[in-house]
Amino acid sequence: MQLRYSFRLYPNGPQRSALARAFGCARVVYNDALRAREDARAHGDVFPKTGDLSRLLITEAKKTTERAWLGKVSAVVLQQSLRDLDTAYRNFFDGLGGKRPRMGAPRFKSRKDNRQAVRFTANARWKITTGGDLSLPKIGDVRVKWSRTLPSTPSTVTVVKDAAGRYFASFVVQTGPEEMLPEVAGQVGIDLGLSHFAILSDGTKIESPRFLRRAEKKLKREQQRLARKAKGNNRTKARLKVARAHAQVADARREFHHQLSTRIIRDNQAVAVEDLAVKGLARTRLAKSVHDAGWSAFVAMLEYKAARYGRTFVRIGRFEPTSQVCCVCGIKDGPKPLHVRVWECGACGAVLDRDINAAVNVAKAAGLAVSACRAQVRPGLVPAQRGEAGTHRDGQTTVVGIPGL
């Protein structure tokens, strides 16, 4: 399978200027191509092909006074910008045809977008130097903070600048069957929640870190300062502070998801989760807590890591009555209010923890062989509080890990 590895870049002043020029040129070519196709659609003409657009908007445009500066960046970057537009149109039409979820039509890019990116393929002759720098055409050797070794030779590299002003190199690599993990006997069902982020069918309860809630005071202060700034350099600096505060929260949440999903996949041969209606829950009064938990990102990590390491991943339907059925005798007791966390089965008399019972039922609904004996009421494991920190150049870890995760 293909995987994407991202590493932090630290370009110097001239390299940042060269990257800004590359971002701008790629954006201009993309917008020119989009405008050409929209004009053709408005006049009822045939969409111009990518080859024609490349000749007109890149090759011929470089010879004009208005677009002569396109020659200052790698031509591969401009060609990939046209391919990105083709992909955007293809996804849009596939959504209309029902081949994939619907998405909006391609839109014009702005220099104020939160994310700027350019892509280099093998034709651009980029390389990783013996000193560990990333050599990019017409940009130079950019310093990279390597946190791991790439499993294979990457086919492309995408340089990304996020809203917080950080630069990343994103590599696409191909992995093979050598990454398969040895088989283990464990099978687990997972019930996701808000008070506890995840409850496993073996009785383990993992507290929700609530990264956004813990950072709300700092975010509120920085956003108030931004609101009071007039347009100019001070407002730009305040905007970057807000973006960095949000980036710290997102990075800490992503690190927590990665650590927990990796642990679950390594310890279990089969994993089952419930397909939650996240979009519906995000429209309720619990919306902030739902977004703070990041269930969808966590489940997506479980799914791709299971495929990568040779594990079984099962997603059961969202209408399965996991909280209404006794996992010991299988009797359906009916719906229960959310404040009822412990209940006694009227048929067999088992005293059940609502969340652990649901996790066991998730595993059973997926066809996994799990025992219901651990669904009895028992105290959950409370992990230590996590620390947050930014990404550093000195090799320090980005987030303090939870013992055992």
* CB-CB contact of 264 with 302 (8 Å): yes
**∠ CA 190-192-197 to the nearest 5 degrees?**
110
* CB-CB contact of 398 with 389 (8 Å): yes
> Which is the catalytic residue, given 222, 292, 353, 355?
355
Identity at 190, one-letter amino acid code = I
Rounded Cα distance, 107 and 116, in Å: 15
16 φ, ψ (degrees, to nearest 5): -65, -40
3-state percent breakdown (helix, strand, coil) of the chain, nearest 5:
40, 20, 40
* CB-CB contact of 64 with 81 (8 Å): no
Told to judge if 179 belongs to the known catalytic residues of this protein, a careful annotator would answer no
Rounded Cα distance, 230 and 101, in Å: 41
C-alpha torsion 396→397→398→400, nearest 10: -130
Told to judge if 39 belongs to the known catalytic residues of this protein, a careful annotator would answer no
Told to judge if 355 belongs to the known catalytic residues of this protein, a careful annotator would answer yes
> Which is the catalytic residue, given 274, 292, 303, 353?
274
Residue 236's contacts (CB-CB under 8 Å, 6 or more residues apart) are none
> Which is the catalytic residue, given 84, 191, 222, 292?
191
Catalytic residues: 191, 274, 355
